[in-house]
Amino acid sequence: MIVGAGLAGLIAAHIFPDDVIEASPAPQATHKALLRFRNQEVSRVTGIDFTPVKVRKGVWSFDKNEFVAPSIRLANQYSSKCLNGWLANDRSIWNLEPCIRYIAPEDFYEQLLSNLADRVHWESPMDFAAKPQGLPLISTVPMDVVLGQLGIPTPDVTFNKESISVMRFRVRGCELYQTVYYPEPDFPIYRASITKDLLIIERAESDDDPGVGAVCRSFGVSESDIELLESTSQRYGKIASIDDFTRKMLIGKLTSEHGIFSLGRFATWKNILLDDVVNDAMVIKKLLKATDYERKLHQHK
């Protein structure tokens, strides 16, 4: 059984024959932020065609009113902005080289659900504490939620997370693949991207001016040429990594003592990409057939 009908859970269901249970009463595409893939593995396992494109990126400075090179100061400001004061290493702002990415169709979530037919069961919350001992589960549920339900103490671990607000616009007369980072702390938006003619703005949740006009100016796009499609909130928008040894220990404990196999960014509490879900699911597939001794050996890798 797979717990969670987000993107990670639905991708996993294309690899495993198991049913998916989800607490939500109906389908809802909760992931509205930027969605680009670095390879075609997800396309391969789901049978959904992706489009290869060249993506260009830049860091915009409002002080200088121009694009600037990344620096330690800007990277730290960007991290603090994304994670409410938390400074984390190696944020995406460092890598601005043009790159090939693979774009899923806008109805990717709906196509995943369509592929799975009646295997997804809504209004089916999982009580991890009441799970039968011998029943293995693949969980995409956030690690802090699972640990809390099981009563596993984590006194030395802080699961730092921030919700984000995502605004999506249609851009008239546009076919671009670009991302702009905004590290300056007094501007509410930290990243905006155009994928074909879809402008996606990601920002900390706030009632302040959304800053859409400033984003348009940084892209060189007229504000009169964009149309708001939706504005949504993502509770687990950004997470800050925890000590890797502790993280692996907790994942191993969930597997060896509770038969829970963690999959996806929030379940493993690591800033992985959706591309990684396929490889991690294959590892879980092997672990499900492995002995307890083999699982313990893997835990320490």
> Tens digits of per-residue pLDDT, 7-24?
999 999 999 999 999 999
Mean pLDDT of the chain: 89
In one-letter notation, the amino acid at residue 203 is R
The reported pTM is 0.88
- Positive or negative CA dihedral for 277, 282, 288, 292? negative
Task: Give the residue among 259, 18, 283 at the shortest CA–CA distance from 137.
Answer: 259
> Tens digits of per-residue pLDDT, 232-262?
888 777 788 889 999 999 999 999 999 999 9
**Which residues, at least 6 apart from 139, have a Cβ–Cβ distance to it below 8 Å?**
2, 3, 4, 126, 128, 146, 254, 260, 261, 262, 263, 267
3-state secondary structure the chain: CEECCCHHHHHHCCCCCCCEECCCCCCCCCCCCCCEECCCHHHHHHCCCCEEEEEEEEEEECCCCEEECCCHHHHHHHHHHHCCCCCCCCCHHHCCCCEEEEECCCCHHHHHHHHHCCCEECCCCCCHHHCCCCCCEEECCCHHHHHHHHCCCCCCCCCCEEEEEEEEEEECCCCEEEEEECCCCCCCEEEEEEEECEEEEEEECCCCCCCHHHHHHHHCCCHHHEEEEEEEEEEEEEECCCCHHHHHHHHHHHHHHHCEEECCHHHHCCCCCCHHHHHHHHHHHHHHHCCHHHHHHHHCC
Provide the pLDDT for residue 299. Answer: 53
> Does 150 score more than 80 pLDDT?
yes
> Does 293 score more than 50 pLDDT?
no
Provide the pLDDT for residue 26. Answer: 87
Cα(207)–Cα(64) distance, rounded to whole angstroms?
26
> Tens digits of per-residue pLDDT, 263-274?
999 999 998 889
Domain spans, the chain: 2-299
Q: What is the largest CA-CA distance in the chain?
A: 62
Please tell me the class of the 2-299 domain: alpha beta
> Tens digits of per-residue pLDDT, 177-200?
999 999 998 888 989 999 999 999
Instruction: Please report where in the chains the tokens 């969980």 appear, as a residue.
Output: 139
